[in-house]
Homo-oligomer: A and B are copies of this chain.
Amino acid sequence: MTTLPLLKDEELSPEAQAVFDEIRSLRNTDYVNNFWRALAHDPVQLRATWERLKVVMGPGSLDPLVKEMLYVAVSVANGCSYCIHSHTAAAKAKGMTPEMHAELLSVIGMASQTNAQVTALQVPVDEIFQAG
């Protein structure tokens, strides 16, 4: 039910094929998931998205597992089913335990509740929370 057909390997442009090769190599698997197969209709957008994703989700001062959980949190708030599924799977693959998953859900639920309460009450920001 995509709005553009998912591209099979044999339908890729050379530029898209090159990105798929990198995805396979970096992830050490032959499987390329549907997001990339839909995005491959536009090799420039595919390349830009992949390049940036590598940097953002790559090594840094935040743990890769933390980054996946942040990704899940944003995806839940934005209501993106595909993203919730794919990044929850990625978080599990990176070591998210059932206890961590349960806490992730609790924080997302709690934040969503207080976000709504604050918004309904239109609470003004305390001066002590302002950046210098």
Contact = CB atoms under 8 A, between A and B. Distances in A.
Given A108-B116, A123-B34, A128-B89, A100 B44 contact: no
Q: How many copies does the complex hold?
A: 6
A82 B126 CA distance: 8
Interface string A109-128: 11111111111111111101
B129 A85 contact: yes
Interface of A: 1-6, 31, 33-35, 38-39, 41-42, 44-45, 48-49, 52-53, 55-57, 60-62, 66-67, 69-89, 97-126, 128-132
29 contacts: A3-B84, A3-B120, A33-B129, A35-B121, A38-B118, A38-B121, A39-B117, A39-B121, A41-B101, A56-B106, A61-B99, A62-B69, A62-B100, A62-B103, A67-B107, A70-B104, A71-B107, A73-B73, A74-B76, A74-B107, A77-B77, A83-B111, A83-B118, A84-B122, A89-B128, A105-B121, A109-B116, A111-B116, A112-B112
